[in-house]
Amino acid sequence: MIDHDDEALAKLRASDPATGSHPDLHSLRALISTKAPASQGTDRVTAVHDDAFRGPRVHAPWIAAAAVAAFAMGGGGYALGAHTAEPQPVAGQPGAGNGDTEDGAEGDSAAMGGMAADGASITEAAGEARSEASMGGAGPNYDMGPVRLLPGPGLPTERGTAPVRALTSDVDAEEFLTTWAERLGVEGVRPDPEEGSEGWYGETVMIEPDTLRILSVSSEGGGGLRFNYEDQLNSPYCEDMYSGALPEDLEMMREEWVKAMGPDIPPPDPSMCTTPEGSPPSEEQAVAAAEDFLASTGLDLSGYTFQGVDYQEPGSSSITVEGWPEGMRGSELAMNLTVGPTGVVSAWGAAGEMTSLGDYPVISAVEAVERYAQREFGMEYGVTLPEDMMPYEGDMSSMPVPDYTVPPPVPVEPGMQIPLLMKDKVVTSAELTTGTMWTQSAGNMEVPAWKLMTDDGMHYAVLAIADESIDWIAWE
């Protein structure tokens, strides 16, 4: 049975566009290695394809590591965050709260019929865990149940146009990988997956068989350059990824590894893990090591700020460092590195320039309220505003819970109407702003979005691009 109360899984959920903090990829790796979180609809970060995990006892740490790398490479959608030049107020999607319940009348979402404590089933709820500062200091942090938005008087009814931008790069991924490997001294080979089997790290990847240092680069679809580095055997999570694995599980892992990597890259073994020795580096030491490592990429990172992330895993032997260009924290151009006693054990980032795709027609604010009720816009394709990706300013274990009251259960009787909780909220004002969303192109795009505001201080973001500029591509 999957335990949904893990701190790492909570952080995985927090990295979704529905909430608001940077993903900690390495805590996710430790979690995913021993658990198989089910897909929550089509959320681009929480939805982990779990075919490799099927079965009651399967542990697939190296598949998990590849999945985490996919997040960083853009295949996971929002792991690299949102981009905008001018920070805007937050608007978001569903969140979940904590609280005590008495007689089922008041408390948190766990007390509401049909709503899981982790908020996974509150698919129509809106709001997010965010600081009061990011909300202007007013209103609750999130809705405690499902809501329905209604347009208020005076909302703009006019349509218009707004720009769309995407991260692009003219750097050749193959050339970048070759040069990067030489600078790092990685003598790697290319995976040779069996026919009909897909590799775990994309097409432009190099793995050093003896050390399992992995370099992968992507510039698919003409998008930005995304790079990822993993020093698997020196990772503080290497041994944890095998914890509790039965012999038959290990054998299955080896078989899957050979299918994905080919005969020239031997399967990893728990005995190959190197236990990190020594104290974790200080933040100053970690930042210096991160900057020195990134110099190997040859990228111009002058003007970037690097610092330790606000949340560091208790008891870990490593420090996580993040970097961003001036004024663009949480942007598409984010960098993230984990530094242990021996140096950098993992890193991911993106490089390129934000390129204009032109001005696009946008719907009115009144139409945006109606659009929020549509599944494809209110649930499948949410828009993240810049401050959604900012770290929560406070203790995540004690975020404030707004006051609310749940009506008592309706007695069951023949012919009764089926009782469903729903709160109507009137949108009193709206602002056309800029956010980021995942697309079936080269990854994230910077798009116009309506920020819909209600009089309780809540904010809701909706894609503003008009229907005639959206190409719905069918999948099979």
Rounded average pLDDT per 10-residue block, the chain, 476 residues: 43 39 39 32 32 34 48 38 33 34 39 33 30 35 86 96 94 94 93 78 87 90 90 84 81 87 83 83 94 95 89 78 86 89 93 94 98 94 80 61 86 98 96 92 89 91 97 94
Residue 381, pLDDT score: 93
What is d(CA 309, CA 312) in angstroms, rounded to the nearest whole number?
Answer: 7
Contacting residues for 456 by C-beta, under 8 A, at least 6 apart: 139, 140, 425
pLDDT in the model for residue 389? 67
**Listed residue (459, 243, 218) closest to 350, CA to CA:** 218
Exposure class string for 42-60: b at 16+ Cβ within 10 A, else e: ebbbbbbebebbeeeebbb
Which residues does 382 contact at the CB level (< 8 Å), separation at least 6? 17, 18, 92, 93, 437, 461
pTM: predicted TM-score of the whole model, two decimal places? 0.66
Which residues touch 399 (CB under 8 Å, ≥6 apart)?
A: 97, 98, 129, 141, 392
Residue 137: per-residue pLDDT: 30
Q: How far apart are CA 279 and CA 218, in angstroms?
A: 34
Task: Give residue 194's pLDDT.
Answer: 82
pLDDT for the residue 399: 61
pLDDT value of position 474: 95
How wide is the angle at C-alpha 78 spanned by C-alphas 74 and 80, nearest 5°? 65
The pLDDT assigned to 155 comes to 96
User: Does the CA dihedral 417-420-426-431 come out positive or negative?
Assistant: negative
**φ/ψ of residue 263, rounded to 5:** -75, -15
Which are the contacts of 44, defined by CB distance < 8 A and separation ≥ 6?
A: 16, 17, 76, 77, 78, 438
Q: What is the pLDDT of residue 68?
A: 46
Closest by Cα among 318, 239, 245 to 275: 239
Q: Tokens representing 74?
A: 């853009």
| Cβ pair 91, 284 in contact under 8 A | no
d(CA 150, CA 283): 48
Other Cβ atoms less than 10 A from the Cβ of 294: the count is 22
Query: For position 329, what pLDDT does the model report?
Result: 79
Structure tokens at 377: 């816009």
Q: CA-to-CA distance for 64 and 235, rounded, in angstroms?
A: 14
Provide the pLDDT for residue 461.
94
**Closest to 86 in 3D by CA, of 165, 159, 143, 199:** 165
Which strand (E) or helix (H) includes residue 225?
strand 225-231
